[in-house]
A and B are shown apart, each in its own frame.
Chain A
Amino acid sequence: MLAETSLDIRTVSKTYQVNDQALDVLRNIDFTVEPGEFVSIVGASGCGKSTLLRLIIGLDTEYHGDILLDGRRIDGPGADRSIVFQEHRLFPWLTVEQNVALGLDASDAPVAIRGQSVAEHIDLVRLAGFEKAYPHQLSGGMAQRAAIARALVNRPKILLLDEPLGALDSLTRAYLQDELLRIWRQQSVTVLMVTHDVEEAVYLSDKIVVMEPRPGRIAGIVPIDLDHQRERAAAGFIAHKERVLHLLNH
């Protein structure tokens, strides 16, 4: 589908001015997300991973270097990128259906098609039957799935996830990790996810970008060449995990 899109992060740096002192939040970030890849960014707090995501989604447009999507410099939010935050951020006064439909608000798809697309994506995240429910009536996991539907309904080229499962309990998290895999494969969308959970990163990703803080920079990139379904207890899994942890803690 849209699996031909590549995201190029080229020598991206960002500096904040705090009390007349320059604070380097990101320094020389360089990596590429290949078409259809599932890439995770892992790092301790303060390493700038969320800042990087905000630059990519376009909520922040001040940085040095280049962020290129399919070779074109991004400039603010666009239909080609979507994001799911750690909090579901669904609007409490709208139903699940209406929230998901908002994802199509800025598109020029005709109204008839929109309804169908909304229904499809609600189905995709397995929330069929909850279209008329309000967010406060959903569990944390269900709400997050609705947020994912809202992010995907416009068929973005790349889906960004900022610690999407961080607020959920471990049982729900494990379930949703598998759901993420399924959705990723079904939609053939490129995914870039930020997480602090190393095991989660190893479970899901094709490669892991490991970052370290002060200033935020890349410590290393670890490719994960395991087949899905991955076994968390398997030797190969543990070996990859060790490698990532090593990079994080050195």
Chain B
Amino acid sequence: MIRIRQTLLAAAVAIGSVGVAAAAELPPVIHFAGVGSGFGLPFGQNTFAVAQVKGVMEAEFAGTDVRLDWGYFTGTGPAINEALANGQADFAQYGSIPNIIGYANGLPTRILLSYGGTNIFAVARKDLPIQSIKDLRGRKIAVQKATIIHWALLKALQANGLTERDVTIVDLKNPDTFAALAAGSIDAAFGASYILPLRDQGIVKVIYSTKDGGAQATGFGAIVVTDSFQKRYPEATQRVVDGLVKAGRFIGEDENREEVLRIWAKSGVPYEIIAEDFAGKPLRAQTNPLIDDFYLAQFRDAIEFEKQQKLIRRDVDLTAWLEPRYLADALKRLDLENFWPHRSADGLRQSAAN
């Protein structure tokens, strides 16, 4: 009797451990893809960069044979979508507009967590009587279409009672914007912090910044994983999210601010610009990874934007796309559930206690 029980028990343990082993299977290599820039080896101005440099991700996989591969794509969103499609990337950190385009066109990703906001600025030619967004009525504005900047422009116009039809939008990439402003063929331009050097060159003045309370108009994106990777390697996926959350905590701690800015300056963007970009508020507030009501509302807004701009044809089921359980699990285990503010749909902070 006892023998049979022992045998059954042993068999159950054996089968069970196979199941556990399968779930605990680790990949030989994990590919990370982020947006990057640089004169030499491209580097990112993001969570991945900090996770890489501080060895946080390495620590998650210490003692295993897993190799970590970090790639920072200067081709931004489109290049990262290609990399995900090709199996060149397992995890990616990039903007919401290409996030949505990829997913809507069949790229099987799952959103794991956010990474905070990208500040958007508007600049206008110094010689023109433009002081604020309201003065942009009837003006020519340069913005790179089909990006979060374009979305932010519309949001800014909306907040000031203007629509796309009240202005002329010129589709230009960053370097061409410089030439157009210098030549006087456009009146204003929208962009992220890369546009600030124009002010330093004396051609334009800054007339608007999402830092001044424009949370709903601030750029945003997602950190995604390919569906096949997270299904096959749930253990590894959890470890990655743990690592990213830990990196996020490092970024959010005030005493690390200097170091984080220095790490991000490896992307070739001048330190002064990065410092100015994030000045005035604690980094923690600007790098919120939570999938809260605010984040959901922003994403829905971006999806609408893309449908309107005819960037996507099909609708996107946001709920199906999200996979927040890894984040929830990490926050709980690391006791960081209240480290970042949970925001309501309109962007106002909710109480920290859940």
Any A–B CB pair closer than 8 Å:
no
B→A interface (CB under 8 Å): none
